[in-house]
């Protein structure tokens, strides 16, 4: 009766842990009554059950579908033959171990040896029958294949193709895309004694932060005794200090200044003529873009040979070597 209570407790404890540990059944039903009595089967079952519980196994009754089942038989000479099988390895041969018979005075030590053998065999088969935690975790993390009747479009996420070279995302312009901006500008060219209107066509090629400027400008100065037309053609390179829809770039440019003049005085030595001189500029350009429409402001400090016209010792018109220009532009981006 006491052993029945102990065995019941062991079985209950094993049942509570069966979801977390391998279950083991120790089967002595194949022994005859004489053999069972000779090996003190009741005490052996108790010792084996306690050892299995200590090893972390769940002990279940024989025939209850244990993960490992250890059957006991007695060979000739009284040796105990242990045969362990697992339902997960039906085609594999049973794992066998033999424990030599012991005299009755050493029954307790012999029971411990048998319990040790049973626990060792259960450990080997349980390790082979149950997947490793890492493998189980990998299987749980792997998404299950969709059923055959599931449409492929609903089971497989849509593949997003990378944007093609030069394409834009959400309508935003690619930062390194090249573009041309061509527009008209009007402003003023200052000189000693006043200022002259300045107008022209300006083109800008942008690639990343690099800017190429092409300017074709003209100015007219009409005085009572002289009429002067000036044209300048310049090409320059700049770099964007601030880039984006609102940008600011600075640069350097070089070109030529062409002047056509006519003097109304009949006593002037040169009543009409054309002069050309080299020039250089340091332009600063600020722009704001709204789509393809561009509004910009340009200021430039230039240097060119001084030009002047005199008649009978009187200065009719002059421009110093330093040139100061300012313009507003309206352009279109291509």
Give the tens place of pLDDT for each residue, 276-331: 999 999 999 999 999 899 999 999 999 999 888 777 667 777 888 898 999 999 99
Confidence bin at 164 (pLDDT 50/70/90): low
Residue 15, pLDDT above cutoff 50: no
Residue with tokens 């049942």: 15
C-alpha torsion 39→42→48→52, nearest 10: 160
Residue with tokens 């895309």: 177
State in words which class domain 2-134 has: alpha beta
For the segment 68-84, what is each residue's pLDDT rounded down to a tens digit? 889 998 887 778 889 88
What pLDDT is recorded for position 252? 97
Residue 152, pLDDT above cutoff 50: no
Please state, in angstroms and rounded to a whole number, the distance separating the CA atoms of residues 325 and 302. Answer: 8
Percent of the chain's residues with pLDDT above 70? 75
Cβ atoms of residues 97 and 116 within 8 Å: no
Residue 163, pLDDT above cutoff 80: no
State in words which class domain 179-308+315-333 has: mainly beta
Please state, in angstroms and rounded to a whole number, the distance separating the CA atoms of residues 327 and 115. Answer: 102
What pLDDT is recorded for position 256? 96
Please state, in angstroms and rounded to a whole number, the distance separating the CA atoms of residues 280 and 237. Answer: 12
For the segment 189-212, what is each residue's pLDDT rounded down to a tens digit? 987 667 899 999 999 999 999 999
| Same CATH fold assignment for domains 2-134 and 179-308+315-333 | no
Instruction: Provide the CA 319 distance to its chain's centre, in angstroms.
Output: 60
With CA atoms as reference, report the closest residue to 264 among 222, 310, 227, 228. Answer: 227
Residue 141, pLDDT above cutoff 70: no
Tell me the pLDDT of the chain averaged across its residues: 80
Cβ atoms of residues 82 and 72 within 8 Å: yes
Averaged pLDDT, 111-135? 78
Higher-confidence position of 263 and 328: 328
Strand, coil or helix: 264: coil
Q: Which two structure tokens, joined as six digits, stand for 40?
A: 């003190």
| Helix axes 41-54 and 2-16, enclosed angle (nearest 10) | 30
Please state, in angstroms and rounded to a whole number, the distance separating the CA atoms of residues 114 and 81. Answer: 10
Residue with tokens 């709204």: 290
CA-based radius of gyration for the chain:
51
Residue 168, pLDDT above cutoff 50: no
What pLDDT is recorded for position 235? 97
State pTM to two decimals.
Answer: 0.47
Averaged pLDDT, 8-28? 62
What pLDDT is recorded for position 16? 47
Does the CA dihedral 176-182-185-189 come out positive or negative?
positive
Instruction: Provide the CA 1 distance to its chain's centre, in angstroms.
Output: 69
What pLDDT is recorded for position 218? 95
Instruction: For the chain, give every domain's residue range.
Output: 2-134, 179-308+315-333
Does the CA dihedral 74-80-81-86 come out positive or negative?
positive
């Amino acid at each position: 009766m006491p052993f029945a209570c102990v065995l019941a407790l062991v079985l209950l404890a094993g049942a509570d842990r069966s979801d977390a540990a391998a279950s083991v059944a120790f089967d002595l039903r194949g022994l005859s009554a004489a053999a069972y009595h000779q090996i003190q089967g009741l005490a052996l079952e108790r010792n084996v059950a306690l050892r299995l519980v200590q090893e972390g196994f769940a002990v279940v009754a024989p025939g209850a579908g244990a993960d490992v089942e250890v059957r006991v038989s007695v060979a000739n000479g009284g040796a105990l033959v242990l045969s362990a099988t697992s339902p997960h390895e039906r085609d594999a041969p049973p794992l066998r171990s033999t424990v030599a018979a012991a005299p009755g005075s050493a029954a307790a030590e012999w029971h411990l040896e048998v319990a040790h053998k049973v626990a060792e065999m259960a450990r080997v088969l349980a390790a082979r029958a149950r997947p490793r935690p890492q493998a189980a975790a990998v299987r749980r993390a792997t998404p299950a294949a969709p059923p055959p009747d599931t449409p492929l479009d609903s089971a497989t996420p849509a593949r997003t193709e990378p944007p093609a070279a030069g394409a834009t995302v959400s309508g935003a312009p690619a930062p390194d895309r090249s573009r041309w901006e061509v527009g008209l500008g009007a402003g003023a060219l200052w000189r000693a004694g006043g200022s002259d209107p300045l107008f022209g066509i300006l083109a800008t090629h942008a690639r990343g932060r690099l800017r190429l400027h092409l300017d074709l400008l003209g100015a007219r100065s009409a005085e009572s005794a002289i009429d002067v037309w000036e044209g300048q053609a310049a090409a320059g390179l700049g770099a964007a200090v601030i880039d984006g829809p609102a940008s600011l770039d600075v640069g350097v440019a070089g070109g030529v200044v062409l002047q056509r003049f006519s003097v109304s005085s009949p006593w002037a030595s040169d009543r009409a003529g054309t002069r050309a001189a080299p020039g250089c500029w340091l332009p600063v350009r600020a722009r704001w873009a709204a789509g393809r429409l561009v509004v910009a402001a340009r200021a430039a400090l230039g240097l060119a040979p001084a030009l002047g016209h005199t008649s009978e010792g009187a200065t009719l018109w002059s421009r110093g070597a330093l040139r100061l220009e300012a313009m507003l532009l309206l352009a279109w981006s291509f």
